[in-house]
Amino acid sequence: MSSGQGGPTPTHVAIIMDGNGRWAQMRGLPRQEGHRRGLEALRRTVRNASDLGIGVLTLYSFSTENWRRPQAEVSFLMGLLRHFVEKDLAELSAANVQVRIIGSRQDLAPDLRRLVEHAEARTRGNTGLILAIAFNYGARDEIVRAARALAADAAAGRVEPRAIDEAALSARLDTHDLPDPELVIRTSGETRISNFLLWQAAYAEFVFTPVMWPDFDRAAFEDALAQYRQRERRFGGLSTPPGRSVGVA
């Protein structure tokens, strides 16, 4: 996709939304206020992504490790997802956004699971931005679930073990029908991947910004895209020699 600003716009942007707690702490506010403002930043970012011509936006909202947080904070984050889906679904659908939830649904409360399924079903036919909310998501967990599905297929004779390749594993990931992210952004100055899209981000560019997630705005988003456009993506190959083109960019 071309941006008209001197480089391509990534099709798939994935974001590790970090720093809600510190944002609140710096202002003497409870952590929950940081998460509440984080939800506002999430809404803003969805609108900006649509606007900027991005095809897929994946947001890390709750990791498989986040269960270790105090029970009250876990419940609050579950409530925020519930609130978001209930309150924003009509608007998202009207904006032609297709909602997906990636991650393990097993441990979610039955009503939350139903809500999520309803949101996906209602927006399935939408053709605009694909919004993938990673909730109760961990990349290792996702890969283990895919490996388990492959093993079951092999045990049932549906798959020949020797025929298992990268495509076979990719096809069993939660993101099976999505392109890999070209750009992963992490806010708050932390420079870790934290079990996010480990398989899919194999060739992604990373942008780390000191901006705390509640402050992530259009300018911060555009700045990350501008950094991405300056990078040279070689996928293990060589740079394109001047005046020549290569098959794999």
Q: How far apart are CA 49 and CA 197, in angstroms?
A: 19
Tell me the per-residue interface mask from 165 to 194 with ligand FPP, x by CB under 6 A, - otherwise.
-----------------------x------
Q: Among the candidate windows 74-82, 145-153, 196-204, 219-227, which touches ligand FPP by CB under 6 A?
A: 74-82
Least distance CB 196 / ligand FPP (angstroms): 11
Number of residues that bind ligand FPP (CB under 6 A): 19
Task: Pick from 46, 52, 54, 81 the residue near ligand FPP by CB under 6 A.
Answer: 81
The 3-class SS string of 12-34 reads EEEEECCCHHHHHHHCCCCHHHH
What separation in angstroms does the CA of 213 have from each of 24, 58, 189?
Answer: 11, 15, 10
Task: Pick from 19, 103, 138, 181 the residue near ligand FPP by CB under 6 A.
Answer: 19
- Our finding on whether 39 is near ligand FPP (CB under 6 A) is yes
Q: Is 186 annotated as a binding residue?
A: yes
Q: How far apart are CA 55 and CA 130, in angstroms?
A: 6
Q: How far apart are CA 175 and CA 245, in angstroms?
A: 31
- Our finding on whether 42 is near ligand FPP (CB under 6 A) is yes
Q: Is 104 annotated as a binding residue?
A: no
Annotation says 136 is catalytic: no
- Our finding on whether 103 is near ligand FPP (CB under 6 A) is no
In order, the DSSP letters of 125-189 are T--S-EEEEEEEE-HHHHHHHHHHHHHHHHHTTSS-GGG--HHHHHTTSTTTTSPPPSEEEE-TT
Amino acid at 133: I
Give 237's contacts (C-beta < 8 A, 6+ positions apart): 246, 248
- Our finding on whether 101 is near ligand FPP (CB under 6 A) is no
Least distance CB 43 / ligand FPP (angstroms): 9
Annotation says 96 is catalytic: no
List residues binding ligand FPP (CB under 6 A): 17-22, 35, 38-39, 42, 61-62, 66, 77, 80-81, 84, 188, 213
Instruction: Name the residues annotated as catalytic.
Output: 18, 66
